[in-house]
Amino acid sequence: MATDYNAFITEATIDGADDGPLAGTTVAVKDNISTEGVRTTCGSEMLADYVPPYSATVVDRLTEAGATVVGKANMDEFGMGTTTETSAFGPTRNPADPERVPGGSSGGSAAAVAAGEADLALGSDTGGSVRCPAAFCGVVGIKPTYGLVSRYGLVAYANSLEQIGPIAGTVEEAAAALDVIAGPDPNDGTTRDLADVEGADPDASYAAAADGDVDGLTIGIPTELFEGADERVVETVEAAIADLEGRGAETTEISLPSVEHAVQAYYVIAMAEASSNLARFDGVRYGARADSDGNWNESFAETREEGFGAEVKRRILLGTYALSAGYHDKYYEKAQDARAWVRQDFKEAFADVDVIASPTMPVPPFELGESLDDPLRMYLADANTTPVNLANLPAISVPAGEADGLPVGLQFVGPKFDEETVIRAASAVEER
Amino acid sequence: MSDTSESTDDAGEDAGGDDAPAHSDASVVDAEAVRHVAELARVRLADDEVGTFAAQFGDILDYFEALDEVPETEREEDLVNVMRPDEVQSGLTQEEALSNADETADGYFVGPKVS
């Protein structure tokens, strides 16, 4: 029997249309993306029995395009983690090395694809949650520009940062899935119609952009995202970039000083938004409810004590703290300044380069249990992915090779709504 | 960009100077502070969890202190309102809306007692 990686929380089938661009393909859907009639747990005890009465826009688009949903993928509870170990349904194992984590928070999605249990997967990326597991499992993951893909039906963690993105075995397959899920949705007012976006191509075909042609492409190499990374990871990524130079790409060193503050800004903003978003889980309209004799406030507090795991409580409490009187200006306002600075840094960099390349993760996959007791250590692993969410940009993680037998991901970041360029660059890495 | 870099350097020097002890004091989190914020967030905590969180929050907030070095930055966001006609559309039925509730009565949610 094949190894059980615990990639799925629920195995259930939602049939796709008979024909369409994704006919015959199977897809794993992260368990924070609503599926009508199929329980959607967010990896939490709180929603262990929650069955959505409607499907997310992205799920409808996939099934209408012919894809069949085969299950709901395991994840860090409410997307809060970098290892998929904070799931209430047990950790997912990395198919590349079952003693190691698959990354997170969309670890089940990436593991399902890497293990061949699904052709495609959907994840959600708030601070790297699609790209990190793609890198750790040796598959491809795309974090779209904020506003390209509808979040309707995605259970919110940090609205201003997150996007749903595809994971697949190849760049072209991931891009083809993006072709299907991208586009405006009246149910998500933050989605954009590319016809209204200056410089964007409303007729973009992402799959067609996976042509491997990097001749004349200018790649920016930000020193800040290589410093401090594991030497084996850096060597693998640099070798892949050197190959692209051999195919006509030019590289140039750039500096993004603001990214030194990205992890701090990301966690303050994400925790603040989480503390507000997760206030809805009080056990009244949906979700588990504690057996309490107390009043309204006591009952809610007991429900939330029982329903949430430690990492979720940590983030709700820290977010509440960062927004509370006396600390709002010190943490939240400064984090918003840092966010604006990161955005400005990238904007200036893209005046000179077409894409920016770095390791996706500064470290190889952790061993199971290695980072669980040290949340700050886990947060620091998000150094290279969080700047992208703060700046609302598109990015992709593509396998660059292996270090000591473990997958290493290369991340390309592009200007807003220029998914085609990051896809093109990534497809060239794949063709090496 | 040069303005930004200069002010960062200034802030960095300040952080290493006289202000530094005050900064680290600010992030000391004791059990009482954890209990207070847990009450605000309506999350009950076990006693051992309070102690663990106090230590972890100290480390995490110390790390967040570096945000003090971030220069004030203009937030040039190109936000546009997205409007649509206010037309009646079909939504969830009452039955669907109640389908995940722990307790309902006569088509309503039943919550805990208020006091």
**Residue range B23-38: average pLDDT?**
78
Q: Is residue B76 part of a domain?
A: no
Q: In which element (H, E) is residue A27 found?
A: strand A26-30
Instruction: Say which range, A255-264, B43-52, B78-87, B105-114, has the weakest mean pLDDT.
Output: B78-87
Which pLDDT band, with edges at 50, 70 and 90, does B29 fall under? confident
Give the burial class of A195: count Cβ atoms within 10 A of its Cβ; 0-12 exposed, 13-18 middle, 19 or more buried: exposed
pLDDT, position B9: 39
With beta carbons under 8 A apart, name residues in chain A contacting B99: 51, 53
pLDDT, position B84: 83
Question: CA of B95: which chain A residue's CA is closest?
Answer: A53
pLDDT, position A54: 97
Instruction: Say which range, A173-182, A247-256, B84-93, has the weakest mean pLDDT.
Output: B84-93
Does A8-258+353-430 carry CATH code 3.40.50.150? no
Asked if pLDDT for residue B20 goes beyond 90, the answer is no
Asked if pLDDT for residue A290 goes beyond 60, the answer is yes
pLDDT, position A1: 45
Contact A340 B75 (CB under 8 A): yes
User: A295 CA to chain B: closest CA distance, Å?
Assistant: 5
Contact B70 A317 (CB under 8 A): no
pLDDT, position A132: 98
**Residue range B14-23: average pLDDT?**
37
Instruction: Say which range, A68-82, A124-138, A170-184, B84-98, has the weakest mean pLDDT.
Output: B84-98
Contact A375 B60 (CB under 8 A): yes
pLDDT, position A199: 87
How, if at all, do strands A163-168 and A250-254 pair?
A: unpaired
Which pLDDT band, with edges at 50, 70 and 90, does A2 fall under? low
pLDDT above 90 covers what percent of chain B? 59
pLDDT above 70 covers what percent of chain A? 100
Asked if pLDDT for residue B13 goes beyond 80, the answer is no
d(CA A314, CA A186): 34
pLDDT, position B10: 39
Residue listed under structure tokens 């992915």: A385
Short-list A104, A122, A127, CA closest to A57 = A122
Angle, alpha carbons A41-A44-A47 (nearest 5°): 50
Contact A150, A401 (CB under 8 A): no
Cα–Cα separations (whole angstroms), residue B33 to A8, A268, B50: 38, 18, 9
Contact A105, A184 (CB under 8 A): no
Asked if pLDDT for residue A188 goes beyond 90, the answer is yes
Write out the two tokens for A263.
Answer: 């992890």
d(CA A150, CA A122): 13
Contact A141, A172 (CB under 8 A): no
**Residue range A291-315: average pLDDT?**
96
With beta carbons under 8 A apart, name residues in chain B contacting A337: 70-73, 75
Which residues lie below 8 Å from residue A311, measured CB to CB, with a gap of 6+? A76, A77, A80, A81, A86, A375
Asked if pLDDT for residue A64 goes beyond 90, the answer is yes
Contact B67 A318 (CB under 8 A): no
Write out the two tokens for A4.
Answer: 């059980």
Which pLDDT band, with edges at 50, 70 and 90, does A177 fall under? very high
**Residue range A365-385: average pLDDT?**
93
Q: Is A255 a catalytic residue?
A: no
Angle, alpha carbons A189-A191-A196 (nearest 5°): 110
d(CA B55, CA B36): 15
d(CA A395, CA A412): 5
d(CA A42, CA A108): 12
Question: CA of B26: which chain A residue's CA is closest?
Answer: A327
d(CA A270, CA A125): 12
Best of A317, A324, A327, A390 to disrupt the B interface (most B CBs within 10 Å) is A317
Question: CA of B79: which chain A residue's CA is closest?
Answer: A190
Asked if pLDDT for residue A223 goes beyond 50, the answer is yes
Short-list A337, A321, A166, A372, CA closest to A264 = A337
Which pLDDT band, with edges at 50, 70 and 90, does A233 fall under? very high
Short-list A57, A63, A72, A52, CA closest to A10 = A72
**Count of structural domains within chain B:** 1
With beta carbons under 8 A apart, name residues in chain A contacting B58: none
**Residue range A181-197: average pLDDT?**
94
Write out the two tokens for B77.
Answer: 């966001």
d(CA A118, CA A176): 15
Q: Is residue B103 part of a domain?
A: no
Question: Which domain, by its residues, includes B49?
Answer: 1-71
pLDDT, position A371: 85
Question: CA of B40: which chain A residue's CA is closest?
Answer: A320
pLDDT, position B3: 40
Residue in A308, A334, A335 closest to B43 by CB: A308
Q: Is A72 a catalytic residue?
A: no
pLDDT in tens, A23-54: 999 999 999 999 999 999 999 999 999 999 99
Residue in A186, A317, A341 closest to B70 by CB: A341
Which pLDDT band, with edges at 50, 70 and 90, does B27 fall under? low
pLDDT, position A3: 76
With beta carbons under 8 A apart, name residues in chain B contacting A314: 53, 56-57
Q: Is A371 a catalytic residue?
A: no
d(CA B53, CA B61): 11
Q: Is residue B65 part of a domain?
A: yes
d(CA A293, CA A304): 15
With beta carbons under 8 A apart, name residues in chain A contacting B12: none
Which pLDDT band, with edges at 50, 70 and 90, does B17 fall under? very low
Instruction: Say which range, A184-198, A397-411, B24-38, B87-101, has the weakest mean pLDDT.
Output: B24-38
pLDDT, position A262: 98
d(CA A109, CA A122): 6
Give the domain ranges of chain A.
Answer: 8-258+353-430, 260-337
Residue A31 C-alpha from the chain's centroid = 13
Q: Cite the beta strand spans of A207-296 per DSSP E.
A: 218-222, 250-254
Contact A286 B100 (CB under 8 A): yes
Whole-prediction pTM value?
A: 0.94
How, if at all, do strands B108-109 and A250-254 pair?
A: unpaired
User: A267 CA to chain B: closest CA distance, Å?
Assistant: 9
Q: What is the DSSP string of A390-412?
A: HTT--EEEEEEEEETTEEEEEEE
